[in-house]
Amino acid sequence: MPRPGTSHDPQPPLGRRGSGLLPCIAISTLVLSILVGLAILIFWLTVRPAPLEFSVDDASIHGFNLTAKELNATFNLTLRADNPNHRIRVYYDSVNITVWYSDQMVAFSEVAPFHQSHRNVRTIDVDPVAKSVPLVASVVDNLKHDRSAGAVELEVRVRARIRFKVGLAKTKHYTLRAYCSPVVVHFSSSARFERNYCDVDI
Ligand SMILES: *[C@@H]1O[C@H](CO)[C@@H](O)[C@H](O)[C@H]1NC(C)=O
Ligand SMILES: *[C@@H]1O[C@H](CO)[C@@H](O)[C@H](O)[C@H]1NC(C)=O
Ligand SMILES: *[C@@H]1O[C@H](CO)[C@@H](O)[C@H](O)[C@H]1NC(C)=O
Ligand SMILES: *[C@@H]1O[C@H](CO)[C@@H](O)[C@H](O)[C@H]1NC(C)=O
């Protein structure tokens, strides 16, 4: 078959199609890749994957006690995990929640594994405890200042090992990370808490 730009080609175009094997393989490969592409497109359109969402819906601090060197406190958190997908289930095989202040981790809590069906919102109550957490002097000063101002700005992080299930097929494990910041927690229980949406990475 003469192609554009090959007019100076010393080889004349083939009169016969030879064995026909090579064009046959080329056409089959093309048809196969179009079919695979279509299958992926149809899968995508029916499943319509949507990102998982996390937010911190409530947070309060109890038993706050700060000395010159260390902190004791309990952070009562209500997180919300939203799976907006119609056809994808999510298996949370391991879930860890950490609380950070001034880039320092002050409390940790593990959540029991759970699985989430499609279009499901799950509320997770966790109470990470800071127990005799050592703090450097500058952080203690900032925290004392926040305490007298009445509110503290925290970052809540979620780290989870998850798998997805579509129909009968389960995927491999992925690591989900959610960063929720700033989570502004008031010491006074009468202050209203503003829901904070998290950045979710998978
Ligand atoms: C804070 O902890 C110290 C040392 O454990 C204790 O003496 C003090 O009473 C505590 N303060 C409050 C407000 O709980
Ligand atoms: C906060 O968490 C602690 C520890 O789990 C619990 O004892 C306490 O009742 C919780 N307080 C609130 C107000 O939820
Ligand atoms: C924190 O709690 C531990 C025991 O639970 C206690 O020994 C320590 O003195 C407390 N520290 C503060 C600052 O309250
Ligand atoms: C959660 O913490 C536990 C204990 O530290 C650890 O074994 C597990 O791997 C952690 N899971 C994730 C998803 O980071």
Torsion of CA 84, 90, 94, 97, to 10 degrees: 0
104 strand-pairing partners: 101
Q: pTM score, two decimals?
A: 0.78
Round to whole Å and give the CA distance between 33 and 75: 54
Task: Give the pLDDT confidence score for residue 16 in this predicted structure.
Answer: 55
Residue ranges lining ligand 3, Cβ < 6 Å:
65, 67, 70, 72, 131-132
| Nearest protein Cα to ligand 4, atom 2 | 96
Round to whole Å and give the CA distance between 165 and 153: 36
- Tokens 């080609």 correspond to what residue? 9
Per-residue model confidence as pLDDT tens digits over 117-159: 999 999 999 999 999 999 998 999 999 999 999 999 999 999 9
96 lines ligand 4 (CB under 6 A): yes
Task: Give the pLDDT confidence score for residue 11 in this predicted structure.
Answer: 55
Model confidence at 27: pLDDT above 70? yes
Give residue 80's Cα distance to chain centre: 13
| Nearest protein Cα to ligand 2, atom 4 | 127
For residue 67, give the ligand 3 atom closest to its CA: 13
Round to whole Å and give the CA distance between 112 and 128: 13
For residue 71, give the ligand 3 atom closest to its CA: 13
Listed in sequence order, the residues at least 6 apart from 76 whose beta carbon sits closer than 8 Å to its beta carbon are 58, 59, 60, 61, 62, 125, 127
Contact 82, 148 (CB under 8 A): no
Q: How confident is the model at residue 6 (pLDDT cuts 50, 70, 90)?
A: very low
Pocket test for ligand 2, best of 61, 64, 74 (most atoms within 8 A of CB): 74
DSSP 86: S
- Kindly identify the ligand whose nearest atom is closest to the C-alpha of 131: 3
Alpha carbon distances (Å) from 137 to 33, 99, 134, 141, 173: 63, 19, 10, 6, 41
In SS3 terms, 120-155 reads as: EEEEEEECCEEEEEECCHHHHHHHHHHHHHCEEEEE
Contact 76, 59 (CB under 8 A): yes
Round to whole Å and give the CA distance between 194 and 181: 12
Model confidence at 99: pLDDT above 90? yes
Round to whole Å and give the CA distance between 194 and 180: 12
